[in-house]
Chains A and B, each alone.
Chain A
Amino acid sequence: MDFLSEHQPEMLPGKRQLPPTQGVIEAPHGTTIVAVTFPGGVVLAGDRRATMGNVIAQRDIEKVFPADEYSAVGIAGTAGLAVEMVKLFQLELEHFEKVEGATLSLEGKANRLSTMIRSNLGMAMQGLAVVPLFAGYDVDRERGRIFSYDVTGGRSEEHGFAATGSGSVFARGAMKKLYRKDLAEAEATTLVVQALYDAADDDSATGGPDVARRIYPIVTVITEDGFRRLDDEESSGIARAILERRLEQPDGPRAALL
């Protein structure tokens, strides 16, 4: 990113000149991204809906991307800007790895993402915010880690589980009752889909599983074996299992009172 700002600064997302605007630009935003750690790794998942006001702009948008082999970013906010930022982030990580001959530490990657979000503050204040959730497998500490950001790029590490986006409040409530420290990978992937389902249930800007069109949340798992995205078969398996139970209990699994 530093090289880019020296030689071709107009390519940086934050440096583009915007014409002065009155009022808020209606650009696609609104989402839920969730992440949960389990022994051996971390799961990062996101819904598929993009909204423009009250209109569903896209049913199958992708909001979760691999940043490199051991990390991934889920993005909430202005879709176009966010995708551009992810692309630059992926480039930055790859570039560092090739020039130095070694990958960045997970903290280093989280830090660079911070700087990128911070440089977008000008546009965020005009209504074009980008807020990511960053998850990765720390090869040195041998565990999954989650970092959440605010719109100024302020970073904080989350323990256990985290969510971001317009539906994050509902997703977090669900995960609070479902999360345990000793989840298996298959349980962790089910947990995130449950959380996304609950978010979609209460937030109109978050999309639930679309079984008819076969559009499911994007669920990614990062372990010592690297980044993996669940394919349609796996995602649909989880979604269908959840939906079947919800036909009996629409509000989801019941937790004990004490």
Chain B
Amino acid sequence: MSTPFYVSPQQAMADRAEYARKGIARGRSLVVLQYADGIVFVGENPSRALHKFSEIYDRIGFAAAGKYNEYENLRIGGVRYADLRGYTYDRDDVTARGLANVYAQTLGTIFSSAAEKPYEVELVVAEVGDTPEGDQIYRLPHDGSIVDEHGSVAVGGNAEQISTYLDQRHEDGMSLAEALKLAVQSLSREANGGEREIPAERLEVAILDRTRPQQRKFKRIVGRQLARLLEADGASTATEAEDPEDDE
């Protein structure tokens, strides 16, 4: 990345930030919302094999927008960090905050060093607590900062527009079906203000469910269960969302 002319550091950094932002805006959006029993991740993803949302640890989930191979690297690094920490100390010693700090350091270093190109990724790291007050959501933009989010957050694509839509409509204590519907509605908003249909087959949905009896709270919602949740009317309870036949 050598240039024949002098470029001021401010300009160089601004250029890098612009490059990363553009890259992230080109990708698809995803939303992360708190609901009564935990945290739900919803995104448009036509691929069956490549995931935007992943499990990091017992109560910690990972979501990313932007360049796939770059955030895949970060995802695997996060799983390694969490597993190593949990094994060295104890499972309870692995926290989303610790993980977010590690990601912030990594992203910050990549962004600041002139040798590499900035990562075109924006991450969300979420941890489900025993109660809604214990839930944590951290958004990590491309430059290594951390933003503590509450209630709902959107990243990638036309994230700002979706965020505004979500802020107006999100409430605490929604059921999974309600939160899922709101998420899909928000993702359906076009940049020009119109709406489009996103069928269930193009959705990737995952939850961190604090009521799960297993230690690992992360679960993907696919197939019949997803279709049922999208159909259910807003008045249904969260218990309807649990399908006893589905295993992780």
Chain A interface residues (CB < 8 Å from chain B): 3-4, 7-8, 11, 69, 87-88, 91, 94-95, 98-99, 101, 225-226
Query: Given A7-B84, A98-B79, A101-B51, 7 other A-B contacts at CB below 8 A?
Result: A3-B80, A69-B247, A69-B248, A88-B87, A94-B83, A101-B54, A225-B247
Q: Are B88 and A8 in contact (CB under 8 A)?
A: yes
Q: Are B87 and A87 in contact (CB under 8 A)?
A: yes
Chain B interface residues (CB < 8 Å from chain A): 49, 51, 54-56, 76, 79-80, 83-84, 86-88, 247-248
Cα–Cα distance between A7 and B49 once the two chains are bound (Å): 29
Knowing A101-B51, A101-B54, the reply to whether A226 touches B87 (Cβ < 8 A) is: no
Cα–Cα distance between A95 and B216 once the two chains are bound (Å): 12
Chain B's closest residue to A97 (CB) is: B55
Q: Are A91 and B83 in contact (CB under 8 A)?
A: yes
Which of A69, A101, A226: most chain B CB closer than 10 A?
A101
Cα–Cα distance between A91 and B248 once the two chains are bound (Å): 17
Of the residues B49, B55, B86, B247, contact of A226 by C-beta under 8 Å: B247
Contact residues in B for A3 (Cβ distance below 8 Å): 80, 84
Knowing A11-B88, A101-B51, A101-B54, the reply to whether A95 touches B247 (Cβ < 8 A) is: no
Cα–Cα distance between A74 and B87 once the two chains are bound (Å): 21
Contact residues in B for A94 (Cβ distance below 8 Å): 83
Cα–Cα distance between A141 and B56 once the two chains are bound (Å): 29
30 pairs, A vs B, C-beta closer than 8 Å: A3-B80, A3-B84, A4-B84, A4-B87, A7-B84, A8-B84, A8-B88, A11-B87, A11-B88, A69-B247, A69-B248, A87-B87, A88-B87, A91-B83, A91-B87, A94-B83, A95-B80, A98-B54, A98-B55, A98-B56, A98-B79, A98-B83, A99-B76, A99-B79, A99-B80, A101-B49, A101-B51, A101-B54, A225-B247, A226-B247
Q: A116 CB to closest chain B CB, in angstroms?
A: 14
Contact residues in B for A101 (Cβ distance below 8 Å): 49, 51, 54
Contact residues in A for B86 (Cβ distance below 8 Å): 91
Cα–Cα distance between A91 and B79 once the two chains are bound (Å): 11
Cα–Cα distance between A4 and B84 once the two chains are bound (Å): 8
| Nearest 3 Cβ contacts at the A-B interface | A98-B79, A95-B83, A91-B87
